[in-house]
């Protein structure tokens, strides 16, 4: 009797296992079938000709692309836009800037930071296709073209969104070859999935300027390096309490090893920052003791719309007794500055390169002057420290297609604002923390 009961139980479990297996396979087949249908819908809407991608990257919280489309008449051209679809009804278009060069349409979407495809807003569990949408004067409807990769970057981008309520999304962005109707197509895709941050990936990185043998500015026994580290550690504490994952470029353990020239090493301040794949970087500094200057200054990337920098500036001014800086050079808003290379400085850098025997860097008036902003942005900001100037170690991330949006905060002028900087750290940090929470 017991044997019959045992055999029956085993048989029932086997039947249940088979049913579950079929059910799981069927459930898995449904999204796979849906995805194939979506891909087929996209392939049926695109032309056989492709647009050439010269760069693709994430910077801050957005994806951007630049490239060209050959053999197009300026007279016949009406508009060009970046188009994203999941092939199942979701569609969105984004503005592209463009010009014409030798019969080619040259386009780019990085005119302003975070204006491109905002990855955080895309739905998890979806595959998205990125296309070029062209409208010509001689056609009633726009035409869609896929992208082929002609850039120097062949690796997929693995992008992680900022932690929100303890959760993250991962976007895998890259080019795929697919066959359809006996033709091979290149597709630029972005797949989104729910995940958590890997151990080495962070939301925000905080940089305390200088360190080690490089103490920065000094007033009596107080050094810029010590003061900025105090600010960095306090901001990290506050942001971690808010649920962000935060990395310091230097702390009490690694500060002593730093010099002015090794910041680009993999374990230097810039190297550590770039390795985090963070979306935001705050870099603390202190200005020198110019007699007539005082107040704080926030330096923003040139592609920023200055909304976040402006909010930080206003809150620092509101919550503390520090004033907006009275420095007018490179000023954009009260307390907010954007400093790029000027033609005269570019000439100086070129002359130095020629004198020292290395090829001059490709610097333009759109290149950020401050290295903390420039060198963590990769190709998006024109990072250039690649080792040709042997006075510095190379930044191995200089040509990265994953850039960090960085703001450098000059807390004040050390001779005129030291007392405020020492006594009102809590007020400064509260202002910066609130601005970050409102924008990231």
Q: What pLDDT is stored for residue 252 in this prediction?
A: 87
How does the average pLDDT of the chain come out, rounded?
91
The model's pLDDT over 79-105, given as tens digits with 9 standing for 90+, comes to: 999 999 999 999 999 989 999 998 899
The model's pLDDT over 143-152, given as tens digits with 9 standing for 90+, comes to: 999 999 999 8
Place of tokens 């579950």: 20
Q: Where residue 19 falls among pLDDT bands split at 50, 70, 90?
A: low
**Whole-prediction pTM value?**
0.90
DSSP class of residue 378 equals G
Domains in the chain (CATH in brackets) are 33-195 (no CATH), 204-439 (3.40.630.40)
Cα gap 321→301, rounded to integer Å: 26
Q: What pLDDT is stored for residue 228 in this prediction?
A: 98
Cα gap 220→211, rounded to integer Å: 17
DSSP codes, 125-189? TEEEEEEEEEEETT-SS-EEE-EEE-SS--SPEEEEPPPBTTBEEEEEEEEEEEEETTEEEEEEE
Q: How many residues can be counted in the chain?
A: 440
Q: Please, where are the H alpha helices in 175-306?
A: 224-241, 269-275
In the chain, % of residues over pLDDT 70? 92
By CB atoms closer than 10 A (0-12, 13-18, 19+), residue 166 is exposed
Backbone angles phi, psi at 192, to 5 degrees: -115, 135
């Amino acid at each position: 009797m017991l044997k019959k009961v045992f055999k029956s139980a085993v048989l029932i479990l086997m039947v249940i296992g088979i049913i579950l297996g079929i059910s799981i396979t069927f459930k898995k087949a449904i999204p796979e079938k849906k995805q194939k249908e979506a891909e087929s819908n996209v392939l049926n809407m695109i032309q056989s000709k492709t647009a050439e991608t010269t760069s693709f990257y994430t910077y801050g919280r957005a994806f951007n692309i630049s490239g060209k489309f050959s053999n197009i008449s300026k007279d016949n051209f009406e508009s060009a836009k970046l188009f994203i679809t999941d092939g199942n009804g979701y569609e969105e278009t984004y503005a592209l800037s463009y010009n014409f060069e030798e019969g080619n349409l040259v386009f780019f979407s990085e005119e302003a930071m975070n204006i491109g495809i905002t990855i955080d807003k895309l739905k998890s569990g979806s595959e998205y296709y990125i296309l070029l949408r062209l409208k010509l004067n001689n056609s009633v409807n726009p035409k869609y073209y896929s992208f082929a990769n002609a850039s120097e970057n062949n690796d997929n981008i693995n992008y992680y969104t900022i932690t929100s309520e303890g959760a993250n999304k991962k976007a895998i962005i890259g080019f795929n070859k697919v066959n359809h109707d006996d033709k091979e197509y290149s597709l630029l895709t972005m797949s989104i999935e729910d995940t958590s941050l890997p151990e080495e990936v962070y939301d925000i990185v905080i940089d305390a300027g200088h360190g080690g043998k490089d103490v920065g500015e000094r007033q009596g026994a107080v050094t810029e390096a010590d003061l900025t580290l105090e600010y960095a550690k306090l901001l990290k504490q506050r942001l971690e309490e808010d649920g962000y994952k935060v990395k310091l470029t230097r702390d009490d353990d690694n500060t002593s090893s730093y010099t002015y020239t090794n910041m680009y090493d993999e374990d230097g301040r810039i190297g550590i920052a770039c390795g985090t794949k963070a979306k935001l970087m705050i870099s603390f500094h202190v200005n020198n003791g110019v007699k007539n200057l005082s107040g704080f200054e926030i330096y923003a990337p040139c592609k920023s719309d200055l909304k976040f920098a402006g909010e930080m500036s206003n809150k620092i001014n509101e919550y503390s007794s520090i004033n907006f800086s009275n420095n007018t050079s490179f000023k954009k808003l009260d307390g907010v500055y954007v400093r790029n290379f000027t033609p005269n400085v570019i000439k100086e850098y070129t002359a130095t390169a020629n004198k020292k025997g290395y090829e001059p860097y490709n610097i333009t008036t759109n290149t950020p002057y401050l290295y903390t902003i420039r060198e963590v942005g990769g190709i998006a900001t024109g990072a250039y420290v690649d080792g040709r100037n042997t006075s510095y170690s190379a930044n191995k991330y200089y040509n990265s297609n994953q850039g960090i949006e960085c703001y450098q905060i000059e807390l004040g002028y050390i001779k005129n604002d030291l007392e405020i900087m020492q006594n009102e750290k809590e007020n400064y940090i509260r202002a910066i923390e609130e601005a970050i929470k409102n924008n990231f």
